[in-house]
Amino acid sequence: MITVIPDIHADPRLLEASLSMAAGSMPAFLGDFIDAGATASYKPDDAAVLSSVRRLVDAGEALAVMGNHELNAILFHRKGSDGRWLRAHSDKNCKQHRSFIDALGIATPAALEWTGWFLSALPLWHEGEGFRLVHACWSEPDIALIRARRPDGRLRLEDLPEIADESTDFGRAVKLITSGREELLPEGRSFRDKNGHLRRHVRLSWWRQGHSWRDAALSVPDPEELPDSPLPASFTPAPRPADAPPVFVGHYKMDGVPRLEADHAVCLDYPHAPCLYRWRGEARLVGENLHVVPSQ
């Protein structure tokens, strides 16, 4: 049995509670261990969370994949050959990364050591016997493209520039599986996110069966703002083989009560109702194995 644990975001109490529920099984982390965010209602401790996770992963007592926040951190603390940061130190990016910066600094030996561990220890995906882990999007063509260069799914320093500027198919594939798919809304359409910001690009689910913007959209407070029209032809997820193992993802900050939307894939990232999944070998996911983590 494995217990799949989604985004911790520097919350040591959530990590402790999740690991307590995972007792007797192998914890399997979906990434995003760091970066509490400006509106966190808890006291973040990036270093404590990372230390706990690292002890388990390095000892072979837990599985873990890389999240987009780990990937962003790797880029944030390194410069390209032109002397510029691979991830801009803009107000927005610094605000998003604030709890990590406060704990470990910018490009300090500690920050570089931890982000180096992300590179060496956290693959972009994990394919186990009967299950799959990826932070945001399982896309067979994109994973195959990455696997051709990096069979174990682990990135190297020389990959970073093309990931930073998404200048190659390889760089764009890494971005897709760690951050998911976004599409530009039809001309003249937009929506406001949970912070009131006006947006024209929307995240789209790859596991739902819906074919309209409203059906597929994620992280949209009011789906009625979106057009109830068909998605563009460019959004055509690759066919899923009938015998493909179930996939576990985090990343999407889902609202409401944790739930299964499909029996072949589940998003476990519910910030206001943290949850996990106890996988017991089933080929089709079942609601009874989805558990809410008690309030810390």
Averages of pLDDT over runs of 10 residues in the chain (296 residues) are 97 97 97 90 96 98 98 98 97 95 97 98 97 96 97 98 96 97 90 86 85 88 90 74 92 93 95 96 97 88
Q: How far apart are CA 97 and CA 76, in angstroms?
A: 9
Q: Which residue has the tokens 């409401």?
A: 256
Nearest to 7 by CA among 223, 178, 140, 130: 178
Residue 270 CB coordination number (10 Å): 21
Q: How far apart are CA 247 and CA 263, in angstroms?
A: 9
pLDDT tens per residue across span 85-132: 999 999 999 999 999 999 999 999 999 999 999 999 999 999 999 999
The CATH class given to the 2-156+243-292 domain equals alpha beta
Q: What is the pTM of this model?
A: 0.94
- The residues spanned by each domain of the chain are 2-156+243-292
Q: How far apart are CA 208 and CA 204, in angstroms?
A: 9
277 half-sphere exposure, CB direction, 13 A CA radius: 32
